[in-house]
Structure 1
Amino acid sequence: MPRPRRVASVPRSPRRLARDRHGRGMRSAVTGPHLEPIRTRLDEFDFTIATTAAYLRGLWPELEGVVFEVAQGPADAIHGDHVDRWKVFHDERRIVFFRLPIVRFLRLQDGEEREEKLLIESCVFRAIAELLGKDPWELAPGRYRHL
């Protein structure tokens, strides 16, 4: 038996059709209204870069105005003997971090989020050290002293 066709009284835009499927209304967040939204691995990567850069900006006034960007990883980052994990543009005062080379070469097991975060932070430290012409250990000398 054929299904009856609905006739829409108001023309719908293509965007509205994608969000309002089968006339059920707008979708809600997966976590519901009382829980905070789920953070993805991409969000965690961006957050780690942003917080590490903000920490170093607080220590080094020379970083004022430096732009930090995250890219997937362009083809020109692949060389014969290595893969670039970041690119420093000294003239533009800009650093671009390539997410895929940083994350894919980790070789971590499940549940090792702390080590992933430390590796991302070390990439930020090394890229900023390259921009400033310093050793990465000079950027935050008191941070790595054990009490």
Structure 2
Amino acid sequence: MDSSAPQPPAAPPPSGPPRPRRRDRHGRGLRGPLAPPQVPISLTRSELFEDYIRESVERLERRWPQLVDVEFEVAEVPEEAALSGPLPDGVPLGRVVVAQPGQSQKSRITIYRRPVEIRAKAREDRAALVHEILIEQVAELLGLSPDAIDPRYDED
């Protein structure tokens, strides 16, 4: 080999941070989803929370058919207006807005997702807390005691 031949220029050093390694290191293809979309593991926290509310509302509507005319909604956190002033019980977990007579707007019950999730870490506890909150809000809306709304209220 002739040492007088010109050498090819050296490759420039890579600029920027090193690239992350790919998951296809051994030629098996990219990893797929951990679970099919129809199983609960693939649902987001907000979707699971909405399922808890839907199940609880269905239970309550069977006993109280007038709840069909009530709107149920989920909000991440209470609005700033709901938090103004001193709060005797801490951060609210739900809110009732009663429809005014003569207006086309329906009564509305709002459940605040983040405060509920902070108080109940396990799925079963969260579902039970959502149901309790809905019972309390429906009782306030209908002017009844929570025990009248659901006889199993406040059972451990």
Aligned partners of 1:77 and 1:83 also within 8 Å: no
- Rounded to whole Å, the distance in 2 between the matches of 1:34 and 1:89 is 35
SS of the equivalent of 2:116 reads: helix
- Cα distance, 1:98 vs. partner? 1.2
**Are residues 1:80 and 2:86 paired?**
yes
Alignment identity in percent? 29
Aligned partners of 1:86 and 1:127 also within 8 Å: yes
Partner deviation per Cα, 1:96-125 (whole Å, 9 max, x = no partner)? 111122222x164xxx32222211111111
The match for 2:114 is 100
- Cα distance, 1:34 vs. partner? 8.4
TM-score (normalised: structure 1): 0.65
The match for 1:137 is 147
- Rounded to whole Å, the distance in 2 between the matches of 1:137 and 1:67 is 22
Partner deviation per Cα, 1:12-36 (whole Å, 9 max, x = no partner)? xxxxxxxxxxxxxxxx972466863
Q: How has the CA–CA distance of structure 1 residues 61 and 29 changed in structure 2, closer, same or farther, with 3 Å as cutoff?
A: farther
Q: Could you list the runs of 5+ residues in structure 1 that have no partner in the other structure?
A: 3-27
Q: Could you list the runs of 5+ residues in structure 2 that have no partner in the other structure?
A: 1-10, 13-30, 100-105
Aligned-pair Cα RMSD in Å: 2.8
- Rounded to whole Å, the distance in 2 between the matches of 1:125 and 1:71 is 18
TM-score (normalised: structure 2): 0.62
Aligned pair count reads: 116
**Are residues 1:118 and 2:128 paired?**
yes
SS of the equivalent of 2:110 reads: strand
